[in-house]
Amino acid sequence: MNTRVVVLDEAEQDLKDLQTYLIQHFSVTTWQDSYAKIKKSIRLLKSFPQSGTVPDEIRQYGTTKYRQVLAGMNRIIYEVRADVVYIHIIVDTRRDMKSLLEKRLGQQP
């Protein structure tokens, strides 16, 4: 089954923020490597949308509708609805997920 992937505006902004951070603190090459891993993970979601796991930070709220895949040092938080994958968050694995999840996913329908 091939699904459609929609990167939501917030996740697009996450990518821009990640790009700025990695280029400023590391190098363009580091950004390019990270971006390639993110794109590969997103492509895999088209064929295997259920391949991710439910993050512990989300499970503790009693929901399993959001999943994650890892792409290098980044987490991609997404939701599958019918044949569409909605990407909500793309973030460094070292980021405080609890506050980010409350801010982002708490606003979602």
Q: Give the pLDDT confidence of 53-100 residue by residue, as tens digits.
A: 998 888 887 888 999 999 999 999 999 999 999 999 999 998 888 888
Across 41-64, average pLDDT: 90
Structural domain boundaries, residue 24: 4-106
Q: For the chain, how many structural domains are there in total?
A: 1
Residue 107 pLDDT > 70: no
Residue in 96, 60, 46 with CA at minimum distance from that of residue 75? 96
CATH number at residue 47: 3.30.2310.20
Q: Which pLDDT value is given to residue 101?
A: 80
**Whether the predicted pLDDT of 37 surpasses 60:** yes
Which residues are within 8 A (CB) of 88 and not within 5 positions of it... i.e. 6 or more apart?
Answer: 8, 10, 11, 66, 77, 78, 79, 104, 105, 108
Q: What does pLDDT average to over the chain?
A: 91
Instruction: Specify the pLDDT at position 1.
Output: 60
pTM of the model: 0.89
Can you give the pLDDT at residue 109? 37
Res 47: pLDDT = 92
Q: 6-20: per-residue pLDDT in tens?
A: 999 999 999 999 999
